[in-house]
Amino acid sequence: MINKIRTQLVQNAASILRSPIHLLPKTVQKKALLEGLKLVFQEALEDGDFEFLEDKWLKVEVSDLNVSWLISYQDEKLVVADQPVQEDVSFSGSLNDLVLIAGRKEDPDTLFFQRRLSIEGDTELGLEVKNLMDSIDLDSLPKAMQVMLNQLADFVEKGLNDAQAPKEVSNAY
């Protein structure tokens, strides 16, 4: 019973979250995104590892939520565009796949070759972004964030695995 509920939640997460996310003002989305990025990439930002993104735009799209953000690095800080700009590279994936990548349950290369992660545009820039993501030490995140990310990724992984598992056939008459 619990497995069925988890599977349904995972399979329907995007449709459940789509309306609330679209009702959230862009300014709130932007602030939350920037704060999250600063927290996750604190060490990389301090080391100047984002210089490759200076005056370039990265589009991150959660395809099944129909949301995207344009991110750049300007004046030694990450910025999110207030209005549409032409992206140099675009990463697009489903909510569940992006959660699995963030929680290190799936490799971005594997999802790319399975056509579950789309990377379009400047491939060299895209590779630098992917390598930066791969270099994040999850242990450097605040403990609460580590636990939350691990639990969420485990939940999604189990829900997807349960959905793909063959159903038991009852022989009761």
Indicate if the pLDDT at residue 95 is higher than 50: yes
What residue spans define the domains of the chain? 1-159
Instruction: Report the distance separating Cα 89 and Cα 74, nearest Å.
Output: 16
| Mean pLDDT for the stretch of residues 77-94 | 93
More confident position, 132 or 88: 88
Per the structure block, which two tokens stand in for 138? 């999850």
Please give the pLDDT value at position 81. 94
- Please write the tens of the pLDDT for every residue from 112-131: 899 999 999 998 999 999 88
- Is the per-residue pLDDT at 100 higher than 90? yes
The predicted pLDDT at position 164 comes to 82
Residues 6+ apart with CB under 8 A from 107: 101
Residue-wise pLDDT for 149-169, tens only, equals 999 999 999 999 988 876 654
- Dist CA 108 CA 99 (whole Å): 11
Give the tens place of pLDDT for each residue, 21-42.
999 999 999 999 999 999 888 8
Which range, of 3-17, 45-59, 132-146, averages the lowest pLDDT?
A: 132-146
Predicted confidence at residue 170, as pLDDT, reads 46
Percent of the chain predicted with pLDDT > 90: 70
From CA 71, how far away is CA 47, in angstroms rounded?
18
Whether the Cβ atoms of residue 73 and residue 50 lie closer than 8 Å to each other: yes
Does domain 1-159 match CATH 3.30.1050.10? yes
The reported pLDDT for the residue numbered 138 is 84
Confidence of residue 16 (pLDDT cuts 50, 70, 90): very high
